[in-house]
């Protein structure tokens, strides 16, 4: 490893220059006008992979934006790691909030400002350059490596998931290495071992066939909007408990070791209350804020519509109302099972005089990797060597749906060792990526692949 570390440190300037060049490509996957830029970015990455010594580097057509694949599979008897990331980026709106042009990377202080710097081009390159260091110094990697980069994570159509399902032999691996997450705090390196899933619903409550005068019909019939409010109020109680029968049956309980690890991060409530301008935090009784966000399911209404909302007054009983809500799911919960439970419960509590229609619009499975997993332990040791401190093992309240696909289709756990920071402004104006984390991230990944080769 001595020569590998030396090579990485000698190439720090080049790593920054190559990241800047990649960040100039406007690969916004959700903008049809940028379709050519997305493909150009894929082509640039294929060339980089070939030049670095990877084999079988190619563009893979998915039906949506292209994916990029390459491999090096000559470490006989060693694990195979699939390196996943995405080269597409979010739109830049609102453009007037940017202090520097989003596709003209600008280094200020110790960060590079550009769209895609932290999410996910910069983080993806930490793996690319770590592996390149091995190939340029001896021509071999300690373990087998496959690279898989998608171009529609930020604005996809599901084509990448279908590609994985249809190409499980091509992508077969023992573990997936992903750097697309952020640390818990700036000075607190962290490795994520669990992500919440999602079940997103739309509910429509229907009443009379036409809008009615509330003076003539008020008190005679059920008002769909009143009924809708009653339904929402019965889904979750005042202590934050979701009242749907069977909803918690499959939830994996927190261990004492996990509770201790979470508690070591301190109490985030005072700072969050101040930052958000709220009187207090709130959530399921009996759990801390971090425990609720990382290890417990949640319920949130995202939109409500129906009736008259214009200026002035209109005494109308509308014909229909609706709302959208989601439940964030935790380890072992199945969105398909939750869909059935939600549909059954809402129909049962729907007030008389109206009907309800429930549709699940989107579902994503939660993911959790046991913390005693060999690959997690290797990542922890690699982090400590590079950053000089042991990373905290955390869960994440959000979802990365592709990780569930990898687990389901490839039977491979995802190792989420991100190098972003909480204030990187991902998806927002003035996105940035810390250059110290970039350089040390490359080094950490090199240590990690070396450790994988010792299995």
Active site residue ranges: 88, 153
Question: Could you tell me if 334 and 367 are in contact, meaning their C-beta atoms sit under 8 angstroms apart?
Answer: no
Q: Report how far apart the first and last C-alpha atoms of the chain are (Å, whole number).
A: 16
**377, 379, 384, 387: CA torsion to nearest 10:** -170
Q: Report the C-alpha gap between 38 and 66 in whole angstroms.
A: 8
Q: Report the C-alpha gap between 346 and 232 in whole angstroms.
A: 9
Buried b or exposed e, range 86-105, using 16+ CB within 10 angstroms: bbbbbbbeeeeebeeebbeb
In whole angstroms, how large is the CA radius of gyration of the chain?
25
Question: Could you tell me if 403 and 411 are in contact, meaning their C-beta atoms sit under 8 angstroms apart?
Answer: no
**DSSP track, 143-177:** SEEEEEEES-TTT--SHHHHHHHHTTTTT--SEEE
Rounded to the nearest 5°, which phi and psi values hold at 178? -130, 130
Contacts of residues 260-267 at CB distance under 8 Å and 24 or more positions apart, as own/partner, are 261/392, 261/393, 261/394, 262/288, 262/290, 262/291, 262/294, 262/394, 263/288, 264/392, 265/184, 265/185, 265/188, 265/290, 265/392, 265/394
**129, 135, 136, 139: CA torsion to nearest 10:** 170
Q: Report the C-alpha gap between 419 and 205 in whole angstroms.
A: 45
Q: Which of 439, 448, 433 is nearest to 182 (CA)?
A: 433
49's CB contacts (< 8 A; 6+ apart) are 57, 68, 70, 128, 147
Question: Could you tell me if 92 and 28 are in contact, meaning their C-beta atoms sit under 8 angstroms apart?
Answer: yes
Rounded to the nearest 5°, which phi and psi values hold at 78? -100, 160
């Amino acid at each position: 490893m001595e020569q590998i570390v030396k090579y990485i440190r000698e190439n720090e300037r080049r790593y920054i220059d190559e990241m800047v060049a990649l960040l100039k490509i406007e690969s916004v996957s959700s903008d049809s006008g940028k379709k050519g830029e997305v493909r150009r970015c894929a082509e640039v990455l294929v060339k980089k992979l070939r030049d670095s010594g990877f084999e079988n580097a190619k563009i893979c057509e998915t039906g949506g934006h292209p994916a990029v694949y390459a491999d090096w599979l000559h470490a006989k008897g060693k694990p195979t790691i699939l390196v996943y990331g995405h080269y597409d980026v979010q739109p830049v709106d609102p453009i007037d909030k940017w202090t520097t042009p989003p596709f003209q990377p600008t280094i200020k202080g110790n960060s590079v400002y550009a769209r895609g710097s932290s999410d996910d081009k910069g983080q993806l390159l930490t793996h690319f350059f770590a592996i390149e260091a091995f190939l340029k110094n001896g021509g071999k990697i300690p373990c087998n490596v496959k690279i898989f980069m998608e171009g529609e994570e930020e604005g996809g159509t599901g084509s990448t998931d279908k590609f994985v399902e249809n190409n499980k032999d091509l992508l077969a691996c023992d573990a997936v290495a992903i750097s697309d997450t952020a640390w818990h705090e700036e000075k607190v390196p962290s490795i994520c071992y669990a992500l919440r899933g999602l079940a997103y619903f739309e509910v429509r409550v229907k009443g009379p066939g036409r809008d009615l005068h509330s003076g003539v019909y008020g008190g005679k019939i059920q008002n769909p909007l009143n009924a809708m409010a009653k339904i929402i109020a019965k889904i979750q109680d005042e202590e934050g408990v979701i009242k749907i029968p069977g909803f918690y049956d499959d939830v994996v309980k927190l261990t004492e070791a996990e509770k201790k690890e979470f508690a070591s991060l301190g109490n985030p409530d005072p700072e969050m209350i101040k930052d958000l301008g709220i009187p207090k935090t709130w959530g399921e009784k009996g759990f801390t804020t971090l425990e609720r966000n990382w290890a417990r399911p949640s319920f949130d209404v995202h939109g409500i519509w129906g009736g008259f909302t214009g200026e002035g007054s209109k005494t109308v009983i509308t014909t229909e109302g609706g709302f959208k809500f989601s439940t964030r799911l935790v380890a072992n919960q199945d969105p398909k099972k939750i869909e059935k439970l939600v549909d059954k419960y809402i129909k049962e509590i729907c007030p008389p005089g109206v009907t309800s229609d429930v549709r699940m619009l989107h579902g994503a499975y939660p993911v959790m990797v046991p913390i005693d997993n060999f690959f997690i332990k290797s990542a922890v040791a690699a982090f400590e060597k590079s950053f000089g401190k042991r990373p905290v093992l955390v869960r994440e309240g959000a979802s990365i749906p592709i990780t569930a696909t990898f687990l389901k289709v490839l039977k491979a756990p995802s190792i989420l060792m991100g190098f972003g920071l909480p204030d990187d402004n991902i998806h927002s104006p003035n996105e940035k990526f810390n250059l110290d984390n970039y350089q040390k991230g490359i080094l950490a990944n090199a240590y990690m692949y070396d450790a994988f080769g010792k299995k």
